[in-house]
Structure 1
Amino acid sequence: MTLHYPELAERVASQGELQPAMYSGVDLTATPYRFTVDPEVRSSLPRWVADRDDLLQDDATVELMRTATMLGDVVADPYAALLDTYGTKRLIEMLTQACREGVDAVPDAPEELRAFIAAMEVKPDWLDMELVEEGARSSRVSAAFLAPFLTRGAFLATFINTYAALPMALTGALSDRRAARRVTETTSFFAVTTLPGALDRYGIGFETTAHVRLMHSVVRFNALRRSAKWDQDVYGVPVPQVDQMPAGMINIYLLAAGAVREGRTAWTPRERAIHEFVRYRCFLMGLPEDLLPSDPEGIVRVFHARAATLRYDFDDAICGELVRSTLAAYLRPDRTWHDRVADRVEKAWSKTFFTRSFGRGDGAAAEMGVHLDRLDQALVVATTPYVLGRFALMARATAPGSPVQHVADAYTLRVLRKALATYGVTEAMTEAHGQISH
């Protein structure tokens, strides 16, 4: 029975009405096997992270997790369900044009596209775009100087649970080449959204976010309609919103966890800006506001609650293959000696980040296919002054009130654009959005 989140429950129920072709065979009122509140059943929340018993006693948070486990995307899903009519290429073309020129510019735009764009154009009451821009500016520093060394490690964390990883496995994305593309696209997405004005209505971040939503909905459509491996009684809804939250909010979770450890209940001005930026980006991605708390304690709680109610399972044929292919992927644009060394250093950092963040315990990371050897440790130690030292220096240099803030901001932007170019995102592509007047 829904007591605490009736509006969210209504949104879940509406999926069957809005997209019967996709959800006709899904009991949206059922609790899938992946969701568990049994204290005797192992969950995905490590004991060293938080007290699971305390989380399971919070009825409101448990209800939120259960409801969000059955929530897809009520506006992107109906658009993705037009796949049989238009084909993937045409759906992407129409969405791109609608993002860049407005939906009225799309000839014979389907109503599903209009509803999709209209939902993204909504401005929530709490939104402060000036604060979003300031948060993007601060986030740009980590995107330019830290993320290139850590994103693969964070990406690995999405594959350590069978129930959450299966949708990716169903796409057939297990080869090294496909893995490289996945990591590159993820890294470039988060980097692009930090560019100046990226999350404005006609910014490149708005467009890339819309494409991410479409991609998730297409995976959801194919899993429910075309895959014999998808068992809704076990897995529920593919790529549910509760699984998108960790990837979308990992950086603000780290800040929130730090604040909680320090005994703080409020953000610093810098953290507040980053939170506003991340929260709005997640809103554009379709996450319900109930999963986007405004305070550090709330963010930590929903993060931990999601893991505390997700049944643990690591199927080597699914999770292990995804982990191994992601680790083996070569991400550099060329194979010069510099590129090969940079690739090896980045892998060492990613494995270290993963091990310390998600694979603690005797052999826990190794059991999941992440082996941190002596060379990895040596490379991280040798490059720490450069990686962390440069990041810390630029964080101080770009801080409000710094005498070199503008110079440091410009340098950060140049470094970020250079990194984006290696991912295939050129400056001309990012600037094209700003040249369209509306």
Structure 2
Amino acid sequence: MTTTLHYPELAERVRSQAVLQPHMYGDVDLSATPYRFTTDPDVRSSLPRGVDDRAGLLADEKVVELMRSATMLGDVVADPYAALVDDHGMKGLIRMLSTACREGVDAVPDAPEELRTFIASMEVVPDWLDMDLVEEGARHSRVSAALFAPFIIRGAFLATFINTYAALPMALTGALSDKRAARRVIETSSFFAVTTLPGALDRFGVGFETTAHVRLMHSVVRYNALKRSAKWDQQVFGVPVPQVDQMPAGMIPIYILATAAVRQGRTEWTARERAIHEFVRYRCFLMGLPEDLLPADPEGIVRVFHARAATLRHDFDDATCGELVRSTLAAYLRPGRTPYDRVADRVELAWSRTFFTQAFGRGSGTMGVDLALLDRALVAATAPFVLGRYVLVTRACSGRLHAPFDAYTLRVLRKRLTAYGVDEAMTEAHGTMAG
């Protein structure tokens, strides 16, 4: 039993899971520390090479307590709704959730109380929220979503497979086939892109609904791992898809900005960074991340990121991580098989491999990601266009005459979303995503 000194409300939130959803968490010892979590300085962690402050992080009782609690935290409002899957089926849960997001929960006939609680939690307005700033941050963020992210989507996705303890829930979903891997990559890319559209995170915006659906998906994975999988060892893995593992994917855009700020010796955001931070922070809030994991300053963001890695035991199991990496690399992501589609897919693969190897260095080869001569040649040939256009539009969208460049970005982004299989009508400012 661990002592809670700094985050009593978060600890209570962890304990409440057994009360709110006894069928799902009744057999889970939520006070235990799973094997995946380590504060032993002699045990290798997932902290990247080049980050040499692990001893300082482990000595920080406050941040260690935060990571331990978040490692045992699922989703206290989405999990009870997902547990209704045996009664309503997955399609039934999706249909009711879609209606509640688009028309309000009262439009759902005989709406379950679990659904009402879920939607109500997302409708809460945080004290710090500035929706005008969120919209400005979305405008800046969609430049990357339209012009750069599509070239590294696979590489960014691979980063979620480099640790056995974090990757196992994905493996349990059956996402080891090339087709399933392609669908997962496209769905994830679509989610992050859709949320940057104008008005997307408004109460009846497309991003609000997609966020709710992502939470439901995570909760169903959590439910299946705990109740239907013999492979899930609670003493080793703890809670499936814990909030501490959702933080990196949600916060990576501002972690990159925060790292640059810290390196420059800055403790405050620039105006552009502040807007992006507000947007990403609110999106993470809608995703269900506790506010304790969403610091307001650059140094705080870097610290929670590194603390998560410093307390996550290193492990790369080839049967789990290796297969996920290989299936993702083998996946074909383009909508067609024309010569253009094939070339575009190969160029994206080259960029993704480059991104991954740059992020993980010499260790990337042992994870099954090798950078071929053709990859280097393709990146070198396309870099002037990919990076040049991205930098130009980023700077233009930060200026006073940003309107025409933002319009261009939106056209490109909607075209990308159509290629991902998202209905064009759903990408309008207040469109909705089909369940």
Shorter-chain TM-score category?
A: over 0.9
RMSD: 1.1
Whether 1:275 and 2:277 are equivalent positions in the alignment is yes
2:403 matched to which residue of 1? 406
Unaligned runs of 5+ in 2: none
1:371 matched to which residue of 2? 370
**Residue aligned with 2:428, SS:** helix
2:106 matched to which residue of 1? 104
Q: CA deviation at 1:150?
A: 1.2
CA contact (8 A) 2:205 2:429 kept: no
Whether 1:417 and 2:419 are equivalent positions in the alignment is no
Query: Which deviations, in whole Å up to 9, do the C-alpha atoms of 1:28-79 show, x marking residues without a partner?
Result: 0000000000000000002313421111011100000000000000000000
2:210 matched to which residue of 1? 208
Aligned residue runs from structure 1 range 253-292, under 5 A: 253-292=255-294
Unaligned runs of 5+ in 1: none
Aligned residue runs from structure 1 range 9-408, under 5 A: 9-357=11-359, 359-361=360-362, 364-401=363-400, 403=401, 405-408=402-405
CA contact (8 A) 2:425 2:431 kept: no
Equivalent of 2:7 in 5, 8, 29: 5
Greater mean alpha carbon deviation, residues 176-185 or residues 48-57: 48-57
CA contact (8 A) 1:72 1:239 kept: yes
One-letter amino acid of the counterpart of residue 283, structure 2: R
Rounded to whole Å, the distance in 1 between the matches of 2:207 and 2:56 is 38
Rounded to whole Å, the distance in 2 between the matches of 1:431 and 1:50 is 46
Rounded to whole Å, the distance in 2 between the matches of 1:325 and 1:89 is 27
- Identical columns (%): 78
TM-score under structure 2 length normalisation: 0.98
Query: Which deviations, in whole Å up to 9, do the C-alpha atoms of 1:302-345 show, x marking residues without a partner?
Result: 00000000000000000000000001100001111111111111
Q: CA deviation at 1:392?
A: 0.4
Rounded to whole Å, the distance in 1 between the matches of 2:428 and 2:89 is 29
**Residue aligned with 2:152, SS:** helix
One-letter amino acid of the counterpart of residue 424, structure 1: G
Whether 1:427 and 2:424 are equivalent positions in the alignment is yes
Rounded to whole Å, the distance in 2 between the matches of 1:306 and 1:151 is 23
Rounded to whole Å, the distance in 2 between the matches of 1:65 and 1:16 is 20
Rounded to whole Å, the distance in 2 between the matches of 1:234 and 1:372 is 33
Rounded to whole Å, the distance in 2 between the matches of 1:14 and 1:59 is 23
One-letter amino acid of the counterpart of residue 389, structure 1: G
One-letter amino acid of the counterpart of residue 384, structure 1: A
CA contact (8 A) 2:137 2:278 kept: yes
One-letter amino acid of the counterpart of residue 219, structure 1: V
Query: Which deviations, in whole Å up to 9, do the C-alpha atoms of 1:207-266 show, x marking residues without a partner?
Result: 000000000000000000000000000000000000000000111100100101111110
Rounded to whole Å, the distance in 2 between the matches of 1:340 and 1:47 is 35
Rounded to whole Å, the distance in 2 between the matches of 1:399 and 1:37 is 43
One-letter amino acid of the counterpart of residue 45, structure 1: L
Rounded to whole Å, the distance in 2 between the matches of 1:36 and 1:330 is 37
Query: Which deviations, in whole Å up to 9, do the C-alpha atoms of 1:273-307 show, x marking residues without a partner?
Result: 00000000000000000000000000000000000
One-letter amino acid of the counterpart of residue 295, structure 1: D
Q: CA deviation at 1:432?
A: 8.3
- 1:62–1:430: structure 2 CA closer, same or farther, 3 Å change rule? same
CA contact (8 A) 1:149 1:349 kept: yes
- 1:434–1:366: structure 2 CA closer, same or farther, 3 Å change rule? closer
Rounded to whole Å, the distance in 2 between the matches of 1:140 and 1:35 is 35
CA contact (8 A) 2:137 2:276 kept: yes
Query: Which deviations, in whole Å up to 9, do the C-alpha atoms of 1:363-419 show, x marking residues without a partner?
Result: x10100111111111111111101100000111121131x3x111111100000000
Rounded to whole Å, the distance in 1 between the matches of 2:199 and 2:430 is 10
Rounded to whole Å, the distance in 1 between the matches of 2:104 and 2:297 is 34
One-letter amino acid of the counterpart of residue 393, structure 2: M
Query: Which deviations, in whole Å up to 9, do the C-alpha atoms of 1:116-165 show, x marking residues without a partner?
Result: 00000000000000000000000010000000011211110100000000
Rounded to whole Å, the distance in 2 between the matches of 1:154 and 1:50 is 23
**Residue aligned with 1:109, SS:** coil
Rounded to whole Å, the distance in 1 between the matches of 2:51 and 2:182 is 30
Greater mean alpha carbon deviation, residues 14-23 or residues 369-378: 369-378
Rounded to whole Å, the distance in 2 between the matches of 1:415 and 1:201 is 25
Q: CA deviation at 1:431?
A: 3.0
TM-score under structure 1 length normalisation: 0.97
One-letter amino acid of the counterpart of residue 245, structure 2: D
Query: Which deviations, in whole Å up to 9, do the C-alpha atoms of 1:103-126 show, x marking residues without a partner?
Result: 000000000000000000000000
One-letter amino acid of the counterpart of residue 397, structure 1: A
CA contact (8 A) 1:193 1:204 kept: yes
Rounded to whole Å, the distance in 2 between the matches of 1:219 and 1:151 is 22
Rounded to whole Å, the distance in 1 between the matches of 2:144 and 2:196 is 10
Rounded to whole Å, the distance in 1 between the matches of 2:187 and 2:358 is 24
Rounded to whole Å, the distance in 1 between the matches of 2:277 and 2:89 is 37
